């Protein structure tokens, strides 16, 4: 493991240089990786491993025809590399449990009996294990229980893999029955195309992940964009101007500068007026949002957010209700303006 200094704190990370793909292939040469679920993470991780020469099969419920057909269209062959969930889990030695959190609770009574002594049960989210009192997911003692959690959506995991860069991932060991859980975990992390791997625990992964999704990465970002857009519109600015100042400049310019060299470098490449305003107003936004983030983290740690997730996503009409909520967002003036702005971008 490489010692990396993160702002004065040393952490152990694993890079592709010290654990190359050839080593991962050797570690996994006698394994059959059964990817359960072809929804969000399943397609990316399975295709990346397949491209990296790992023996992979997919388990997907045939009655969910959209996901089953997608797997077929991606080259998985029914009866050869594509099976119903229980059949795939029985054939696998590493079972990657990549269905949604609510579905993990629902499917677990059928999946658990398929696990054989010495198998590895793999997660990309600490949700089901950490909140076992709510999910009922309690693995048998005679299997490894491991985690590799890419820090990006399935779409990004696949896209970055094809670009050669990869998505950074965290990893954790919850249960090491075989004595080879760590090697299995790192090999899988490299096989799915991780840029580098950093250690965590199942608890820390889900606490940080649920906070991040509700906070900066999604919830807070969308809320701040809408608030600024509304203020600009209230003061007579056009939809195009309000959207460009609230969203387009961030996504098309500034965030790319942050990605390259950090926030300070982005500031240094903006006008003096922008720099001064950003530095002066940063403390105000931090002061306003810090109590919200503290409240959010407490709710995550207590399992309150988990209750909401399982309640709202664990019933048959969930997808219809979600589509209705997303439709409201999509048809709002701000995102309708965004659709028009995207059409005006120069064609690549």
Catalytically annotated residues: 125
Positive/negative CA dihedral, 99, 100, 103, 105: positive
Phi, psi of 17 (to 5 degrees): -65, -40
Whole-Å CA distances, 335 to 63, 75, 238, 318, 326? 34, 35, 13, 23, 11
In the chain the first and final C-alpha atoms are separated, in Å, by: 41
Q: How far apart are CA 319 and CA 129, in angstroms?
A: 24
Q: How far apart are CA 250 and CA 248, in angstroms?
A: 5
**∠255-261-266 over CA atoms, to 5°?**
50
Q: How far apart are CA 159 and CA 171, in angstroms?
A: 21
């Amino acid at each position: 493991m490489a010692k990396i200094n993160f702002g004065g704190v040393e952490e152990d990370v694993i890079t592709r240089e010290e654990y190359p793909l050839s080593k991962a292939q050797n570690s996994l040469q006698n394994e059959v990786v059964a990817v359960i679920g072809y929804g969000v993470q399943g397609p990316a991780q399975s295709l990346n491993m397949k491209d990296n020469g790992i023996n992979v099969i997919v388990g997907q419920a045939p009655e969910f025809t959209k996901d089953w057909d997608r797997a077929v269209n991606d080259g998985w062959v029914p009866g050869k590399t594509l099976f119903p969930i229980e059949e795939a889990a029985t054939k696998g030695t590493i079972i990657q449990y990549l269905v949604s959190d609510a579905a993990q609770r629902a499917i677990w009574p059928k999946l658990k009996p398929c696990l054989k002594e010495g198998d590895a049960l793999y997660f990309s989210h600490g949700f089901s294990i950490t909140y076992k009192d709510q999910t009922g997911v309690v693995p048998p003692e005679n299997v490894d229980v491991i985690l590799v959690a890419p820090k990006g959506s399935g779409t990004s995991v696949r896209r970055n893999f094809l670009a050669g860069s990869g998505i950074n991932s965290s990893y954790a060991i919850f249960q090491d029955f075989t004595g080879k859980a760590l090697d299995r975990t790192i090999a899988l992390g490299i096989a799915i195309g991780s840029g580098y791997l950093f250690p965590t625990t199942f608890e820390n992964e889900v606490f940080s992940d649920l906070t991040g999704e509700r906070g900066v990465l999604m919830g807070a970002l969308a809320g701040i964009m809408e608030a600024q857009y509304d203020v600009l519109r209230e003061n007579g600015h056009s939809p195009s101007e309000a959207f460009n100042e609230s969203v387009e400049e961030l996504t098309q310019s500034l965030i790319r500068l942050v990605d390259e060299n950090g926030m300070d470098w982005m500031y240094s490449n903006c006008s003096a007026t922008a720099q001064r305003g950003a530095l002066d107003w940063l403390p105000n936004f931090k002061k306003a949002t810090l109590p919200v983030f503290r409240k959010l983290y407490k709710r995550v740690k207590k399992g309150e957010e988990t209750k909401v997730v399982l309640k709202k996503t664990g019933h048959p009409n969930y997808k219809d209700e979600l589509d209705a909520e997303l439709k409201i967002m999509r048809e709002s003036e701000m995102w309708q303006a965004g659709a028009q702005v995207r059409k005006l971008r120069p064609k690549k």
